[in-house]
């Protein structure tokens, strides 16, 4: 699969590349990243054909958005798709902090706010940090944090922005598939154009297939999949590796080991299988993967293009790692 292959984003007029770059790491997720390295990482993504970029106000408390805007400045806006999020505003003394942002800007922090006014303020602030006058895709970030407001006030604001052309597409960004399915069922018509689903449709967790992905396919809602490496377990499962788990549950560790063994037997890098697997479902338009260095971007691009033969997926089914009804990518 080609990194730069552009496909329609569901029912919107936007087009997105198959591979997107998630910019949380460039906001200092777990470890600091310099301005220079952030710019070089975005530049390398551009060079290999990535034209989909995803950020958020809470990523480094505004730092990711500022770096995204600086790195993309001067590039024609119509040649890339930029996503950001609402649900938290960055304010002096904001107390809804998260411990995993390294060296965040002093004196500011996030404040949870899914109100109509809060969303409008968040968008204005994001546009200032990004240096843009329009946002391509706007996600309601973690709507389960305040579901009643997220499904009503926040969506009303986004729908208005979409109607007047200030936003190209309305979306939700979620870590839990049932939350997204509930949102799509309860929100006012016409609803979101797309969904970003993190960590719930990959080789180890396919809960997105239970309800959400069929619902999206039926409604023409595009799905961007993130978290395909399951917090890094499919890239490097060793104890002490930066996979986000202090202790890996035994059942999960066993399945990780089984996938790694199957990949060794078939000469398929685990990250190649992981980044390609979501494309087996017709609702999935893109996979969004984070990176903090140019080399990580290049490696992901290689993995997307690495051959994964049908025999590999057949062996995964035979080993019980994939149930019979789970779709796999075409060869």
Residues labelled as active-site residues: 54, 59, 85
CA distance 143 to 140: 6
* Cα-based distances in Å from 170 to 27, 160, 258: 23, 10, 38
Cα separations (Å) of 257 from 206, 250, 289, 315? 17, 11, 22, 15
The whole-angstrom separation of Cα 211 and Cα 206 is 10
Task: Say if CB 113 and CB 89 are below 8 A apart.
Answer: yes
CA pair distance 164, 110, nearest whole angstrom? 28
Please compute Rg for the chain using Cα positions. Answer: 19
Give the integer Cα–Cα distance in Å for 299 and 171. 28
Output DSSP code: residue 27.
G
What is the enclosing helix (H) or strand (E) of 170? strand 167-174
Pairing relation of β-strands 194-198 and 167-174? parallel
- How far apart (Å, rounded) are the C-alpha atoms in residues 227 and 200? 8
Tokens of 274: 């992981």
Q: Distance between CA atoms of 56 and 27, rounded to whole angstroms?
A: 9
């Amino acid at each position: 699969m080609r990194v730069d292959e552009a496909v329609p984003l569901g029912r919107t007029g936007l087009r997105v590349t198959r591979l997107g770059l998630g910019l949380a790491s460039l906001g200092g997720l777990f470890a600091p990243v310099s301005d220079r390295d952030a710019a070089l990482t975005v530049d390398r993504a551009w060079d290999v054909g990535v034209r989909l970029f995803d950020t958020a106000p809470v990523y480094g408390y505004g730092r990711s958005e500022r770096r995204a805007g600086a790195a993309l400045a001067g590039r024609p806006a119509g040649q890339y798709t930029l996503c950001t999020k609402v649900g938290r505003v960055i304010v002096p003394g904001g107390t809804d902090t998260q411990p995993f942002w390294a060296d965040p800007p002093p004196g500011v922090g996030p404040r949870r706010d899914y109100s109509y006014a809060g969303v409008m303020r968040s968008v204005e602030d994001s546009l200032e940090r990004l240096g843009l006058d329009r946002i391509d895709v706007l996600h309601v970030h973690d709507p389960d944090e305040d579901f009643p407001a997220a499904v009503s006030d926040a969506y009303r604001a986004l729908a208005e922005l979409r109607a007047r052309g200030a936003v190209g597409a309305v979306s939700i960004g979620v870590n839990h598939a049932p939350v997204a399915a509930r949102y799509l069922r309860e929100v006012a018509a016409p609803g979101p154009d797309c969904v970003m689903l993190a960590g719930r449709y990959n080789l180890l967790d396919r809960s997105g297939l239970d309800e959400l992905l069929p619902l999206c396919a039926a409604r023409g809602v595009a799905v961007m999949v993130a978290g395909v490496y399951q917090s890094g377990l499919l890239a490097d499962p060793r104890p002490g590796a930066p996979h986000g788990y202090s202790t890996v549950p035994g059942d999960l560790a066993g399945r990780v080991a089984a996938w790694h063994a199957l990949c060794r037997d078939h000469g398929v890098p685990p990250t190649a299988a992981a980044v390609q697997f979501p494309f087996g479902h017709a609702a999935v338009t893109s996979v969004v993967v984070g990176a903090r260095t140019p080399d990580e971007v290049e490696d992901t691009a290689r993995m997307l293009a690495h051959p994964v033969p049908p025999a590999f997926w057949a062996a995964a089914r035979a080993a019980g790692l994939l149930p019979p009804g789970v779709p796999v990518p075409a060869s």
